[in-house]
Amino acid sequence: MERPNAWKNYKKTELKKVEALAEAYKDFLNNGKTERECVAYTVEKLEKAGYISLDKAVAEGKKLKAGDKVYLNQMNKAVLAFHLGKKPLEDGMNIVGAHIDSPRIDLKQNPFYEDTDYALADTHYYGGIKKYQWVARPLSLHGVVVRKDGSIVNICIGEKESDPVVGISDLLIHLSQEQSAKKLSEAITGENLDIMLAGKPLAGEEKEPVKAMLLKILKDEYQIEEEDMLSAEIEAVPAEKARDFGLDRSMIMGYGHDDRSCAFAELDALLKIGSVPEYTCCGMLVDKEEIGSVGATGMQANYLENAVAEILNLMGRYSGLALRRVLKNSRMLSCDVSAGFDPLYASAFEKKNAAFLGRGVCYNKFTGRGGKSGSNDANAEFIGKIRKIMDDNKVCWQTAELGRVDLGGGGTIAYICALYGMEVIDSGVAVLNMHAPMEIISKADLYEAAKAYNAFMLNA
Ligand code: MN
Ligand code: MN
């Protein structure tokens, strides 16, 4: 039952493909450090590949048919892409869905203050983080500031070599006796994650001169006022670039493998589909998974359903029943990363059912907590079908479970899509250091995931 290591079977030509995909992926990671940046990157690729905006198609009343490609941009934070197939849409779609939000540190709406000659920003972290990992490291600032007149300023500071970086300070070891005696989860509090932004007073300014310096920079360089932060979304993320990890360069260390490794594999798989697939293929890159898939850009919002309704309408076959049939008859891979086995923390795993870096794309029958609580728990019949598709297409794959039974757990978007009555299983890339600022994956697993997702879309 032990699954083979993917690297063992690669010949020269395939090794080249593994490397090429890894290079393209690093570019995706470096240009997509936020959900908004991932959407911009994805939309550009989709349009280059002939996808047209669904909103535009609707506005123009454009008729859609097999072979057509449309995408929905949901508030610049999520994208759905549809490549219409030969079979009636009511026969269901082959859906591959991943999320593009990652754990990070968000600025609060009233962020700036001055304390003892520093200007700082209050923050509120996003997603599950081990707070101690986010201090004393270079962070970059990404996001948008929306002025009252509706104009938008895009912010990206700390990515260019010549840019400054920002960050969160930590107490020196020499004075850390009290801090070090605390529980790991309590040594650094949420309120302690404030980001240091400036340290020089503005000449001639009496009251809060360092904060005044910060505001002057924002005014001079970005034409924004302090009040504009009320309608801003600024995310602090690791400033480092993704790079090869290990002396053999077999892995990649970077920010946001969860879940951009799956999102990238999905996009690659989608763009490699030929002219007209049998069944309609749908790729979903969604937001807010890390905080429960809530909000208008999370999977719990109805934009998949709404987009399919619009597509059915433009195909001249909309009815409430047809819409239900499309969704109920669909098949889906909920693509999200798996916990890679770590020999330094072996006791957190049950080795026979753990995911291993390098052993290919993972399939998780269930996720959840305790007694599988909150899990999707895929049907055996569907898993049988997946096994055949993977083996027929020579995909290296493994099954996985998220750690030891009674230890923690997690969820994905699988259970939400399953509400339509479609077949769904979790699938993804194994990750080390999950949710740390810099996570690690194997290049082989990324390659096998892209292969798997393409095979699924063409054969499920
Ligand atoms: Mn995830
Ligand atoms: Mn996650």
Q: In this predicted model, what pLDDT tens digit does every residue of 320-344 receive, in sequence order?
A: 999 999 999 999 999 999 999 999 9
Question: What are the beta bridge partners of residue 98?
Answer: 285
Per-residue CA distances from 220 to 158, 214, 217 (Å): 18, 10, 5
Ligand nearest to the CA of 100: 1
- pTM for the model stands at 0.97
For residue 153, report the distance from its CA to the centre of ligand 1, in Å: 29
Q: How far is the CA of 434 from the centre of ligand 2 (A)?
A: 7
> What does the pLDDT read at residue 368?
83
Dihedral (CA of 36, 42, 48, 54) sign? negative
- pLDDT 10s digits, 217-270: 999 999 999 999 999 999 999 999 999 999 999 999 999 999 999 999 999 999
Distance 76 CA to ligand 1 centre (A): 19
CA separation for the pair 168, 136 (Å, rounded):
6
Considering every ligand atom, which ligand is closest to the CA of 428? 1
3-state secondary structure of 7: helix
pLDDT at 369: 86
Average pLDDT of the chain to the nearest whole number: 97
Q: From the CA of 113, how far away is ligand 1's center (Å)?
A: 33
pLDDT computed for residue 403 by the predictor: 83
Residue 414 Cα to ligand 1 midpoint, Å, equals 11
Angle (CA) 107 112 114, round 5°: 140
How many whole angstroms from 258 Cα to the centroid of ligand 1?
5
Spatial CA neighbour of 437 closest among 112, 137, 78, 97: 137
Per DSSP, 131 falls in state G
The ligand minimizing its distance to the Cα of 286 is 1
Helices vs strands, H then E, count in the chain = 11, 22
User: Separation of 407 CA from ligand 1 center, angstroms?
Assistant: 18
Of the chain, the end-to-end C-alpha distance in Å amounts to: 24
210 CA → ligand 2 middle, Å: 37
Query: Is residue 387 classed as helix, strand or coil in its secondary structure?
Result: helix
Residue 24 tokens, joined: 């393209």
Tell me whether strands 361-364 and 423-428 are parallel, antiparallel or unpaired. antiparallel
d(C-alpha 274, C-alpha 94), whole Å: 15
Tell me the CA–centroid distance for residue 103 and ligand 2, in Å. 7
Checking if the pLDDT of 196 tops 90, the result is: yes
Q: Compute the residue count for the chain.
A: 460
- Ligand 2 centre distance from Cα of residue 222 (Å): 32
Q: Is residue 173's pLDDT more than 80?
A: yes
Give residue 200 CA to ligand 1 midpoint distance, Å.
40
Q: Residues 6 or more apart from 102 whose CB is under 8 A from it? A: 127, 237, 255, 256, 258, 259, 260, 290
Q: Calculate mean pLDDT across residues 175-193.
A: 95
With tokens 């892409």, the residue in question is 81
Instruction: For residue range 368-422, list pLDDT tens digits in order.
Output: 888 888 888 999 999 999 999 999 999 999 999 888 888 877 889 999 999 999 9
How would you classify the pairing of strands 361-364 and 397-399? parallel
Q: What does the alpha-carbon distance between residue 173 and residue 325 come to, in Å, rounded to a whole number?
A: 61
Distance from the alpha carbon of residue 333 to the mean position of ligand 1, in angstroms: 13
Convert the pLDDT of each residue in 37-62 to its tens digit: 999 999 999 999 999 999 999 999 99
Residue pLDDT, tens place only, 100-137: 999 999 999 999 999 999 999 999 999 999 999 999 99
Q: Is 446 helix (H, G, I), strand (E, B) or coil?
A: helix
pLDDT at 24: 98
Cα(259) to centroid(ligand 2), Å: 7
Span from the CA of 259 to the centroid of ligand 1 (angstroms): 5
Establish how many alpha carbons lie within 13 A of residue 129's alpha carbon, considering only the half-sphere containing its beta carbon. Answer: 24
Say what the pLDDT of residue 394 is. 97
| pLDDT average, residue stretch 423-444 | 98
**Both tokens assigned to 195:** 């980001």
Instruction: Please identify which residue in the block is written with the tokens 């989608």.
Output: 270
Is residue 200 scored above 90 in pLDDT? Answer: yes
Does the pLDDT value for residue 1 go beyond 90? Answer: no
Give the start-end residues of each E strand in 307-349. 331-335, 338-339
pLDDT tens column, 285-314: 999 999 999 999 999 999 999 999 999 999
* Ligand 2 centre distance from Cα of residue 102 (Å): 7
Helix (H) or strand (E) holding 134: none
* Residue 57 main-chain phi, psi, to 5 deg: -60, -40
State in Å: Cα 23 to ligand 2 middle: 23
Contacts for 323 with CB less than 8 Å, ≥ 6 apart: 305, 308, 309, 312
Q: Which ligand is nearest to the CA of 335?
A: 1
**What pLDDT score was predicted for residue 370?**
85
Considering every ligand atom shown, identify the ligand nearest to the alpha carbon of residue 261 and give its number.
Answer: 1
The answer to whether the beta carbons of residues 98 and 335 sit under 8 Å apart is yes
CB-based burial label for 36 (10 Å; 0-12, 13-18, 19+): buried
Mean pLDDT of 278-289: 98
User: Any idea which ligand is nearest the CA of 433?
Assistant: 2
CA of 35 to the centre of ligand 1 (A): 13
Residues with CB in 5 Å of ion ligand 1: 258-259, 336
